[in-house]
Every structure is written in structure tokens, then in C-alpha cells.
Structure 1
Amino acid sequence: MINILFDVDDTLYDQLIPFKDAYHEVFDQYQYNCSIELLFVKSRYYSDEVFELVNAGKMTKTDMHIYRISKAFESLGIQIKREDAFLFQSIYESNQKKIVLHPEMKEVLHFAKCLGINMGVITNGPTSHQESKIAQLLLTNWIKEENIFISGKVGISKPSQKIFSYVQEKMGIIPENSYYIGDSYMNDVVGAKKAGWKSIWVNRRNHPISNEMEYNPDYIMDAFNSPTSILKKILIKNSIKL
């Protein structure tokens, strides 16, 4: 039997939607000439850059939130006020309380559950913040609560191999039969591959794919390959009847 585990942010739901709505509410007044999607991608990059500092208590979550959006704007040649960065984060967090599953992800969750496939979640972030997203997305309709692992609660975060090993032990699964679906190349693809898992990269933002990548995903979810079609390929490859 195969195991399918999911990332949460920008994998199970489209994180650009609450980001874009917050941008319009705070920054439209300035009429900045920039791509909101590019700003979002850069914000995620700067968030990952300081994530371990927050975990280690060397940076507050508030400072991290202000840093990532300020640096994202700065990389596009725009300086923003600290109070605008703070307001943006406040509205962004509020918008995340309205998130919904991406339709393709809802479809694959239902498909996998109907087939009795073992599923789980591994997500980076503070416990209460990630738990509220998990509740909003109603994930326990498809995934057992004991199979949901949050870095803030576990004390280990992706891309460390240790969190994948921890999940293996808790779920009683083996790497060879385990597939991890996530949007971050470094956290999700590299993390899973280093742990010996198979990787499904959610490349919704059309990140460049290079033949020189140290770790290649086993499958790529993009405009041409839906998660359900990829899962069907995996099932056929593993001689599992649909």
C-alpha cells in the first residue's frame, strides 16, 4: 500500500488568494508597478530564509512577518513603511481564516480516501496558526488527526530528514512507499528525497526546472498534470487497481 502525505500552505489551498486580497486592501493606494504573484513568491523566499531564526527564538514572528514583505518589496525596488507591513500581515492572517481547499486537491483527497489510501500532513509553522488552517480546510474529513504533523508541535521542521523519519515511525510507514506532495522545492522536494521518499512537486508558480537540480521530483503537478492524474499513474505503476 502506498502513502500520500501533503504540505498545507500553497499546496492544499492557493495561498496567493489571501495574499492578493491583503495587497489590494493595503497597497493599491500607492499604485505600485509590480507583479503581485512575483511579490508573493519573493515573500515566501524571505520567509523561508529566516524561518529557523524564528524557531530558535532569535527573531519574533512579528519581525519575521514585517521582514519578509518588506524585503520582497525591496527586491523589486520599492520601500514600504513598517506600519503598512504590519497592517498587511494583520489582514493577510485574517484572510487565511477564509481559505478553502484547491478544487484539484479536494478531488484527489476524495479519490484517495475512496481507495483507502493512507494519508497524512506534514506542515511547517506555529502550532495554533497551522491548526486553524487545518480546521478551516476541514482536513480531518479525509485525514486522521493523528496523521497530521505540525513542525511547531513536533519540534522539527522541513527540510530536515528527522521530521520525515519521525512521521514514518508514528504512522508505521516506509520511505519506499511514501509520496510527499508540496510546493517548496527546498522544503518539500529536497526534504522528502533526502529522506528516501518519493516527491510530487506542486509547481503552481511555474518555477524554472533545471536538469542541474540536485534532487529531481518524481512527478510535477502543473497546468498539464493534475494531482488525481498523477495519483492514477502512481497506482498503475504500483499495480494497484483503480
Structure 2
Amino acid sequence: MADSVQKAVFFDVDDTLYDHLSPLRSALQEAVGLADDMPYEDIYYRFRYYSDLLSEEKNLSAVPEKEALADMRRRRFMLALAEFGIFLNEKEAEAAQTAYVNRQFQIQPFHGAMELMETLTHSGIKVGLITNGPAKHQQKKLKALQVHRYIPEDMIFVSGGVGYAKPDVRLFEHVNAITKTSPEHSYYIGDSWRNDVVGAIKAGWTVLWYNHRNAEAESDHRPHFIVHNYEEIKDSLLSIAGLQKV
């Protein structure tokens, strides 16, 4: 590193470390019978919108109640698909959710993600994860991605285990306190405008918006960098975190 200041890079998980759309597409084709030519990326955006909105309304990403969480998961399918003229009842939405959960643990990291974590670690950068969701559920995804080969357990923060959920600034403050890092030397990479960009900016972190789906900004907040793949993420971190090219 160029100086003795401890820098830290944290990643989001869903649709940042792996393709979150893939298990959703497979679940909708399996459980609902949607055709191959449906606008899955548009459906995904609305699915994520309702998932985040309903979770925030009831604080489900922090410490969710079992039935409230189950209801949110059904409703996000029903509300998202209704916008595309597909109307599910609760039983059908539950079947879609079951198929979706089963597919979520059959995932692979984006190309370059794990290699970047390894490069950062070898360069003396602290590397960690911050993700919303129930602790056990998210840990199963992390196990499928084999992230523990690259990131120690004490650098992984799941909202369901912490008690705060993105975009709550207290989650980022908690991470800084536990990892003995500072906001001005903390970098966050995530795809969600609402959770990742807004939350990390408010916490005073440097934000790399991983906009690999070419989404539109949802507010006047300004991420420090907009990146579309892991090569761009690596190049941006090389320029702002003082890393040397390898």
C-alpha cells in the first residue's frame, strides 16, 4: 500500500457477487411456466423493488418475523408479475418462492470476483461483505459461493445477524466499529441504488455502483464510480485505493 492507513473494501452479495437474475428466471419458468422470451430483466427490477420496499416497510431485512417474511416473499412475486399481466394467487406465489429458494444455492460468482478479493487481501486491504437478509439464508449462499476461502467470518456482516439493514447508516457504522476502520478509508461495491449507493454514501464511504444491468439512478445521490464489470471495479480500486497493478 502507498501509506500506512488501513483501507477496507466491502462487497454486497446478491447481484454483486453472483447473477441474482439467474435463479429467479429458472424459478419463474419452473413454477409459473413463463416462456423464454419474457422480459426477465424488467421483471427482476420490479421483483427487487418490491422485495426492498416491503422489507423496509416492516424492517424485515434486520430481524424478520417468520410469517411476515413469508408474506413478503409471496407478495413480491404477486406484485412484480402483476405489472406484466401475470396474476398469481398466494399458493402459486408460494410455489414460485420455493423454486426460487432451491435455485439460490446453485450459484456461481461473477468472473473476476474472487480473484479481486484475493488481490486486495494480498495488497494489505481488509476485505469483507455486507448483505441484507436472514443470517442463515445468506450464509447458505456464501457457502455455495465458497467465499470463506477468501474472507474471514469476522469480516462478513449479515443484517439479520447484526440487527440493522441497508440502507440504515447504523449498519455501516457498526462495520467500521467492529473492523476498526474509518468511513473515509472504506469502499463499498454494490448493485442496489436504494440499499448500497444511498446507504454507503450517507455513511461517508466511497461508493462504486456496480451497474451491470444499466439501471437508472433513483435519486440525486452521486456514487463516486459507476462500474459495469469486475475489470472496471479492479481498475477503479487501483486508482482510488492506492493499489499497485498486478
Match of 1:138 in 2: 146
CA distance in 2, matches of 1:104, 1:86: 34
Aligned length: 236
Q: Does 2:244 correspond to 1:241?
A: yes
Hey, what does 1:22 align to over in structure 2? 27
* Contact 1:26–1:88 under 8 Å retained in 2: yes
Q: 1:224 to 1:140 in 2, by over 3 A?
A: closer
Change (3 A) 1:180 1:37: same
Q: Relative to 1, partners in 2 of residues 1:17 and 1:31: Cα closer, same or farther, differing over 3 Å?
A: closer
Distance 1:225 1:75 in 2: 35
Is the 2:111–2:230 contact (alpha carbons within 8 Å) kept by the matching residues of 1? Answer: no
TM score, norm. by length of structure 1: 0.90
Gaps (5+ residues) in structure 1?
none
Indicate conservation of the 8 Å contact 1:107/1:228, yes or no: no
Query: In the TM superposition, what are the counterparts of 1:105-144 in structure 2 within 5 Å?
Result: 105-144=113-152
Aligned to 1:37: 41
> Counterpart in 2 of 1:232?
238
Q: Which one of 69, 74, 90 corresponds to residue 61 of structure 1?
A: 69
Which residue identity does 1:37 align to in structure 2?
E
Other-structure match for 2:12: 7
The TM-score normalised by the length of structure 2 is 0.89
2:3 aligned partner = none
Give the one of 94, 97, 121 matched to 1:89. Answer: 97
Paired position in structure 1 for 2:193: 185
CA distance in 2, matches of 1:223, 1:186: 20
Structure 2 residue identity aligned to 1:38: D
| Cα deviation, residue 78, structure 1 | 2.2
Q: Provide structure 2 residue ranges, at least 5 long, that are not aligned to the other structure.
A: 1-5
CA distance in 1, matches of 2:190, 2:230: 17
Q: Measure the CA separation in 2 of the matches of 1:164 and 1:31.
A: 41
Q: Secondary structure at the match of 1:122?
A: strand
Percent identity for Structure 1 against Structure 2: 36
Tell which deviates more after alignment, 103-112 or 38-47.
Answer: 103-112
Question: In 1, distance between residues paired with 2:38 and 2:22?
Answer: 16
